[in-house]
Structure 1
């Protein structure tokens, strides 16, 4: 267990943890900045939709980099039992949404949309191909943070409380990007709830990594459907 005195005098493990947290934040930030830089350089209106293949290669590169930088954390992960069926179920969920549900959702009325609407409002199936790889990258960083906090001997519940607070605060920062209050609120609440359960999924649940990815992806599905109906004109 980490002791209070360690916060004042420091230990090698604590210093490494602080460095790793800063590195996670840096990777996440650099990947986001790079996304907009590529979009602007190519003159794209919607990066994922207009250049899905570029971003489908961009985020796996960051994922591999994260796996290499945090291999000292990941190699200690005792992966709970995993099966093929949950993976196929998540892939089927994504396919049903992108190919079957997304095309028939009501069109968004731009007069009802925010002044600077987020790109996912105009997503098509190819948008979510690239988005799936970004989600995989984020899952690698999330797993790193969970293993980092768990390495101090904290219980899963304690780790969940900490990740819930961190994920919630991180998404609360969306307000500085010009997002509407309602947009920020629902993403922050969802991130907080996800942060509370993800340590249990990754550390102590059968098929937990797949469930974590599926839950992460499932939020995008729910929010997209909600947005299309909320911002469409009644028939």
Structure 2
């Protein structure tokens, strides 16, 4: 469906455990969660097997856009992505953090659309890839996000401001025609926003403009 589903799963597990307790009175129930779900925690299982929605988003940015709009070049972006997002993250022992700042975008969208902000932890698992295409002239960029946890019904999605944001995105509530399609669309919106954020920050870094822009706007 279009709910994130954690509450429904918890209720279902509780009912199953209650039934089993009646059938097997000597059974000792320690808790309904054993933490293998790794909810709200960085874990390899979510990175490998996925959790919630798994999304890959990609785009091709033309050479003239890279130069005129992003103020850099394809070669510089490729080198920066390899040394920063891939090599640097590996040296730091990152778990699902092979990106520039995916969590900034994920947390912003989550708060605006009534998601659980704490699930930003695993939902921000992301690897950003860049390569040269079309005879090395253009940039191909992609983000792979295996565990985006979103819902368009239930919880904070019912709050006025958050409900309005979901409505603006065209994903408010449950889809009657195709159950689950609204939450899937929201997950793709999250990934698309992350891709745009990755391209923006990486371009600013490659062009040496990050600190200058912060100073200019007094941040």
- The normalised TM-score by structure 1 is 0.33
Bigger Rg over Cα:
2
- The normalised TM-score by structure 2 is 0.35
Q: Counting strand residues as a fraction of each chain, which structure ranks higher? A: 2
